[in-house]
Chains A and B, each alone.
Chain A
Amino acid sequence: MIIIEALYTEACNLFGDRFNMDYLEKSLGSRAAFCYTSLNETPRFVTENVNMLYMGPMPEREQGYVIDRLRPYTDRLRELIEAGTVMLFTGNAFEVFGSYIENEDGSRIEGLGLYEGHAVRKMMQRFNGTFLGTFTDETGSQIQTIGFKSQFTHTYADNSSGYCFQGIRGCGINPETKLEGIRIHNFFGTYLIGPILVVNPYFTKYLLRLAGAGDVTLAFEDDAVAAYEVRLKEFNDPKRRIG
């Protein structure tokens, strides 16, 4: 049985992201133990090894709370990353693991410093977008990945040797790059929001294999794949505004 820990879902669920966990629960059934840790609890990963750690996007104020809560466990998180624990942090959640978040007035919120890079907030400039990219696994197999973005921030980092998706349409971690996300071993930080594991079934299957769940048939897999295929066609359609 694998252990999947979702951090702070009471605060980190801005775009229906909680369904990422619901979908895994429905897909894995008794093959996984799910642990939902709230802000005032000690995370499970602190005292035992978990197979997968997840956190979704949150309001800006909550980013401060999350950094405060996780800071005492920075070394443990680094250890887990080095050990290859699967981590998925979506939307602005991954920013808390970077060097800092810069506000419009130039002030900074120090991050956990687990990767070199910082986010810049522009609170009166909402960035909305769509994204089509390619995920390449260790064997060289490629999966087309689709998603949506809605954010006040962009991240500035050299992610050329560690990104999640090579963008085909839409921008990466900032408008100047096509490289989407930050990847360190099995740490996946991406600006894609919402139920990305529901809308990207092949990527989800890959992630579950990586987490040690083996080959999993997802809940309603045929239906999820059918919906994904329709959307993939749209995202690849040059006549459509994607990006």
Chain B
Amino acid sequence: MIKFYIALVAAKLSVLGCKVLKNVMHRNGTNLPGEIALKICPGFLRYVGRPETIITVTGTNGKTTTTNMIADALEMTGHKVLSNRAGGNIASGIATCLLNGVNLFNRCRYPIGVLEVDERSSLRIYPYVQPDYAICTNLARDSCMRNAHPHYIFDIIDRALPEKSLMILNADDIISSSLKKDNRRVYYAIDKQPGDKTESFNIINDMRICPDCQELLTYDYVRYNHIGKVRCPRCGLHSPDADFRVTAVDREKGLVTIVHGAETETYPLVSESIFNLYNELTVVTFLRTFGIGAEEIRRALADTQIVSSRYKSETVEGIRVISTMAKGWIAPAVSVVFDFVSKLPGRKEIVLMIEDTEDNISSSENLSYIYETDFEFLNKPEIENIVVVGVRAKDYLLRLLLAGVDREKIHCTDRIGEIPQLLHFEQGKDVHIIYDLHQMDAYAQIHKAVTDGIKGGRTA
């Protein structure tokens, strides 16, 4: 325990250092205190004081939004909440968060903790920080280099979570809904919606076969990848029945109807996207299970805004310029962006720069993921021009050709300055910039080149 207290004091001091870093040098040292604590005392998470009730949120997509929404809603309903919403979600991030919640006597000042947990870090976190409520939003394909495949991540989480956790699970995800089979559980799902398909349409679907008999699964509805309601025509295995169901979405009125048991409740729709609808449903399912009243949740959600740092729309000299961030390397995430952009109304041209610049300088990027990504979504008549930027442009050209895009529509360049010459800049034709999350500098240059190009009179 002496080691632990040394770690606690040292890490607390480093918190001050981080504040200086942030204020003076504008650098973020989010996980540093936790890193120091774990370095001095590897069992730090075992000993550090923690809230009486711990809620964890994990999953491939939506965990940050869900964590923030739950923490905000709990605070709005009068609870004092400790959360890592501004911090890291790996072991050092959790250590930093818990460290911030305790005083020098290791007493936690918060009754509730809402913690976002990185899936891959489960084995380093859950044995020590055992959740009373464990939420998993979904498990889907992520970076193959780190996360391999969703079944691998499933096994890690399944092994790490304790038996005591009440599981809050997405019934529309046949992978994550099977986590901790013997634990108490609450399921949620979105009923079949207009536009849902019954055939898998993405390149990636990690649940095509029945885990029990390996027969090809049948979808009652599929939204994207393997997310939907499935059944096995051979052995009868099926998606679990949901306790909380979205039965109706009224986008005009901005309302969502959720049914659970004999209750039918209406909540404000915080965002129109299907992904955020799942996030909202997760939040409502948890809060109602936790004992928060529907009216309180309605009030909390009415004040909730999902800030999208990943989407920006502006008008320059009458031309709409829409920037959308894509999580490069993560095929399902890039496919979602392609689907989103392709479905926006109107004629458009696209500047595409999703390669990993750093990797392409020091090594040569593994581009397997572009063959998991649905470039086919970009093969639409309304998409009249695609400018591919970067050293990997020839690879993207080939991928686009294989997706059926006309060669005449594709232009490649490795020079950002050349982009304006390759764009049409016509009134009534939107310019979309799709860029990688980790390429903010390149994005800033591309954005400037595009807007300068428009302002420079290159509009038809």
The distance from the CB of A166 to the nearest CB of chain B, in whole angstroms, is 19
Docked Cα-Cα span, A225 to B209, in Å, equals: 36
CB pair B363 A241 closer than 8 Å: yes
Chain A-chain B contacts (Cβ-Cβ < 8 Å), number = 105
The interface stretch among A42-50, A105-113, A171-179, A230-238 is A230-238
Query: A130: which B residues are within 8 A, CB to CB?
Result: 363-364, 366
A168 within 8 A of B: no
In chain A, positions 112-139 with a C-beta closer than 8 Å to chain B are 123, 126, 128, 130
A150 within 8 A of B: yes
CB pair A19 B364 closer than 8 Å: no
Query: B364: which A residues are within 8 A, CB to CB?
Result: 130, 231, 234-235, 240, 242
Docked Cα-Cα span, A72 to B151, in Å, equals: 27
CB pair B362 A198 closer than 8 Å: no
Docked Cα-Cα span, A227 to B355, in Å, equals: 14
Chain B interface residue count, Cβ-Cβ cutoff 8 angstroms: 35
One digit per residue, 1 when the CB lies within 8 angstroms of any chain A CB and 0 when it does not, for chain B 382-421 equals: 0000000001001101100110000000000000000000
In chain A, positions 213-243 with a C-beta closer than 8 Å to chain B are 219-220, 223-224, 226-227, 230-231, 234-235, 240-242
CB pair B395 A11 closer than 8 Å: no
Query: B401: which A residues are within 8 A, CB to CB?
Result: 220, 223
Q: Return the chain B residue nearest A194 by Cβ.
A: B368
Query: A231: which B residues are within 8 A, CB to CB?
Result: 364, 395
The distance from the CB of B84 to the nearest CB of chain A, in whole angstroms, is 24
Pick the contact of A16: B214, B372, B394 (CB < 8 A): B372
CB pair B398 A224 closer than 8 Å: yes
Query: A219: which B residues are within 8 A, CB to CB?
Result: 402
CB pair A220 B402 closer than 8 Å: yes
Docked Cα-Cα span, A72 to B397, in Å, equals: 44
Docked Cα-Cα span, A59 to B391, in Å, equals: 32
B262 within 8 A of A: no
One digit per residue, 1 when the CB lies within 8 angstroms of any chain A CB and 0 when it does not, for chain B 327-363 equals: 0000100000000000000000000000000001011
CB pair A241 B362 closer than 8 Å: yes
A73 within 8 A of B: no
Query: B209: which A residues are within 8 A, CB to CB?
Result: 10-11, 38-39
Docked Cα-Cα span, A113 to B33, in Å, equals: 52
Q: Return the chain B residue nearest A146 by Cβ.
A: B364
In chain A, positions 60-77 with a C-beta closer than 8 Å to chain B are 60-61, 65
Given contact pairs A126-B146, A150-B144, A195-B371, A230 touches B394 in the complex (Cβ within 8 A) = yes
CB pair B208 A10 closer than 8 Å: yes
Pick the contact of B208: A11, A19, A65, A193 (CB < 8 A): A11
CB pair B368 A40 closer than 8 Å: no
CB pair A16 B371 closer than 8 Å: yes
CB pair A152 B368 closer than 8 Å: no
B95 within 8 A of A: no
- Of residues A16, A65, A220, which shows the largest number of chain B Cβ atoms within 10 Å of its Cβ? A16
In chain A, positions 178-222 with a C-beta closer than 8 Å to chain B are 193-195, 198-199, 219-220
A18 within 8 A of B: yes
The distance from the CB of A1 to the nearest CB of chain B, in whole angstroms, is 23
CB pair A14 B402 closer than 8 Å: no
B148 within 8 A of A: yes
CB pair B402 A10 closer than 8 Å: no
CB pair A59 B149 closer than 8 Å: yes
Query: A150: which B residues are within 8 A, CB to CB?
Result: 144-145, 148, 366, 368
Given contacts A22-B402, A194-B367, A227-B395, 19 further A-B contacts (CB under 8 A): A11-B209, A15-B371, A16-B203, A16-B372, A26-B402, A39-B215, A40-B215, A40-B234, A60-B152, A126-B148, A152-B148, A220-B398, A223-B397, A223-B401, A231-B395, A234-B363, A234-B364, A240-B364, A242-B364
* 16 A-B pairs whose Cβ atoms sit less than 8 Å apart in the complex: A14-B149, A16-B368, A22-B402, A26-B402, A40-B234, A59-B148, A59-B149, A59-B152, A65-B214, A126-B145, A126-B146, A130-B364, A195-B371, A199-B367, A227-B397, A242-B363
Give 10 nearest A-B pairs by CB, closest first: A16-B371, A194-B368, A10-B208, A227-B394, A15-B368, A148-B366, A234-B364, A16-B372, A19-B371, A39-B214
